[in-house]
Amino acid sequence: MKLNFAFKFVAPVVLALAWGAAAAETPADYPNRPVRLLVGYQAGGPTDVVARLLAKQLSTSLGQSFVVENKPGAGSNIASEAVASAKPDGYTLLFAAAPIASNGFVYKNLKWNVKTSFEPISQVMSAPVILAVSPTLQAHNLKELIALAKKEPGKLSFASTGNGGTQHYAGELLKQQAGLNLIHVPYKGASAVVTDLIAGNVSMAFMTAISAMPYLKGGQVRPIAVAAPKRLPSLPNVPTMEEAGLPGFDVDSWSGLFAPAGTPKPILEKLQKAVAQAATSKEMKDALQAQGGVLVGSSATEFKAYIDKDVDHMAKVFKTVKVTLD
């Protein structure tokens, strides 16, 4: 009898406390504790750099710590899966790059889907990729590079930061549009690509402007063309791919913020407004513009449309290449 009485007394108290805790944490109060910002790449890489700049801005504007957690591996899929399966309460977010749009064509057993597992919040940054060659290669412009590749089919190689990524996509697009036979050499990170490109172990690479700019300006690697509609102010003498002879060749490396599917709309809207505000900050502009990056701060609707278009473009290339990984 005493046990039953105790249970009858304690149970309502526990339920009331639980209800009170849940009621205390509403979308209007978000965030009221630190937020995890997962990045699927190594610390110090271009995606990580932008994520940390954004985290600092969000921490200031929303009054809580946004803590970057690096979970590299499997083409960024480890971080993506962790966020896709996280509680949709706004406290576990994903800062992702362009490969999130193509990994569905490259990895066979993904446990997430870019269109259904996440809520796009905002595109944060865009940076064109730049075609660069080893200083040992006897090609100083796109015309000479294509001629050399056709003269020696199957001999020249292009490096990327991994199968299915933006750099891989750009290399395959070059092969298709110019009719080239190039060898793809995937690496695990941008630093390894740069090292082997400088040494001449690979012939060329499409490099993300943010990570490549110091080497391009310093002359360690030779820029051939920018895969963008306009020349970069930081590389005014480097032509666009269209100016160099391949019209419509636009490829950019982008990054953006995602939440798990089902995250309450008021939380998503608060985050989007904070990202849009961050995209106007002088600190972020100064850090990225000199390296070829452009801040975006788009709406969720604009970001979703951008991703859908990117998925369609990636599908056309990777379904032809048929690159698949477990």
Most confident of 124-128, 186-190, 222-226, 312-316: 222-226
Task: Give Cβ neighbours of residue 237 (< 8 Å, ≥ 6 apart).
Answer: none
Give CA–CA dist 234/290, Å, rounded. Answer: 6
Lowest-pLDDT choice from 117-131, 157-171, 280-294? 280-294
pTM of the model: 0.82
Q: How confident is the model at residue 179 (pLDDT cuts 50, 70, 90)?
A: very high
Q: How confident is the model at residue 247 (pLDDT cuts 50, 70, 90)?
A: very high
- All domains in the chain, ordered by first residue: 35-126+253-321 (3.40.190.150), 128-244 (3.40.190.10)
Q: How confident is the model at residue 23 (pLDDT cuts 50, 70, 90)?
A: very low
pLDDT confidence of residue 18? 46
Q: Report CA torsion sign: 91, 95, 100, 103.
A: negative
Most confident of 21-25, 177-181, 231-235: 177-181
Give CA–CA dist 81/147, Å, rounded. Answer: 43
For 188-243, give the DSSP string. Answer: SSHHHHHHHHHHTSSSEEEEEHHHHHHHHHHTSSEEEEESSSS--TTSTTSPBHHH
pLDDT confidence of residue 118? 98
DSSP code for 325? B
Give CA–CA dist 99/96, Å, rounded. Answer: 8
DSSP code for 102? T
Q: Is the pLDDT of residue 320 over 90?
A: no
- Tens digits of per-residue pLDDT, 43-91? 888 889 899 999 999 999 999 999 999 999 888 999 999 999 999 999 9
Q: Answer with the residue of higher pLDDT: 106 or 250.
A: 250
Q: Answer with the residue of higher pLDDT: 49 or 36.
A: 36
pLDDT confidence of residue 181? 96
Q: Answer with the residue of higher pLDDT: 314 or 22.
A: 314
Q: What does the pLDDT average to over 223-251?
A: 92
The average confidence (pLDDT) of the chain is: 88
- Tens digits of per-residue pLDDT, 286-304? 888 777 788 999 999 999 9
